[in-house]
Amino acid sequence: MIALITDFGIKDPYVGVVKGVIYSQGYTGSIVDICHHVVPYSIEHAQYILTTSYRYFPDNTIFLVVVDPGVGTQRNILLIHDGRYYFFMPDNGIAGCFNQNTIKVWSVDTQEFVHASSTFHGRDIFAMLASRLAMQGIEAIHCKEYTNYVQHPFPWYDIKVDTVYTKVVHIDRFGNCILSLPNEQYSLQLNAIIVNNKRYTLYHCKTYADVPLEAIGILKGSSGFIEICMNQKDVSKRLAVTTGDMVELFYE
């Protein structure tokens, strides 16, 4: 199985063309769209989408993570194996979401793709690599072990005495604000949040329907990260936050 994470959106034919290339190489398996709405060029958002989705896929799934502001420059393309899955991605920091002690990383030799465009490696290189790995195995990928890859830290949070500094890493369709703060940091003492210099009291809950009307809830999110939410309302609008905004939480 091949699964796709990109910032291509779906207004363009880019995703369809990537699939066309994969199938043109003879691949006959499934291709699953995980997300094509990564915030354009955002390494951190790509890390969030990847981290919260890949574990739910079958063993040996090949993930293409194409969020690639440096496309066409000298940046490397990485192949990563964590013992269960394979990942292709540009060497731009996304790989920092893995525990580096649990993965094996290769730099892919892309010299053979002499006719690749400068601006669409998803089609001209990544799609070719994914179909080849799926059909012929890792021996068919020209690559060498590589340890000096770029690592953007993820998740990002900082705990100082009674304050947690973190950020909104994702806002879902319902407006729920997911923080770059793992559920392991959840505590019933986390009773307030400051966003844009305003302080809000938080209501602890297990699910959205528990939250009283107009209250702002906090819960352990299904993605593994703490969420700020309301009951059938868009809390991101209420707090006027966007993806990437800094927030502070308080233990009280």
Q: CA triplet 18, 79, 39: central angle to 5 degrees?
A: 55
Interaction of residue 170 with its own copies, rule CB under 8 A: yes
Q: Which residues contact 197 (CB under 8 A, 6 or more apart)?
A: none
Q: Rounded distance, CA 188 to CA 218, Å?
A: 9
Q: Rounded distance, CA 72 to CA 40, Å?
A: 16
Which range binds its own copies by CB under 8 A, 30-38, 138-146, 154-162, 196-204? 30-38
Q: Which of 47, 61, 76, 110 binds its own copies (CB under 8 A)?
A: 61
Interaction of residue 1 with its own copies, rule CB under 8 A: yes
Rg (CA), the chain: 20
Q: Which of 142, 206, 212, 240 binds its own copies (CB under 8 A)?
A: 206
Here the tokens at position 39 are 């915030």
Interaction of residue 128 with its own copies, rule CB under 8 A: no
Here the tokens at position 70 are 């440096």
Q: Rounded distance, CA 64 to CA 55, Å?
A: 14
| DSSP 8-state class, residue 212 | P
Q: Which of 2, 95, 195, 219 binds its own copies (CB under 8 A)?
A: 219
Binders of its own copies among residues 67 to 96 (CB under 8 A) are: 69-73
| Cα dihedral 39→116→89→49 (10° resolution) | 30
Q: Name the residue nearer to its own copies (CB basis): 32 or 192.
A: 32
CB of 47 to its own copies, least distance (A): 12
Interaction of residue 44 with its own copies, rule CB under 8 A: no
Q: Which residues contact its own copies by CB under 8 A?
A: 1, 3, 5, 7-17, 19-21, 23-24, 30, 32-37, 40-41, 49, 52-53, 56-58, 61, 69-73, 117-120, 123-124, 170, 172-174, 206-210, 219, 221-223, 227, 232
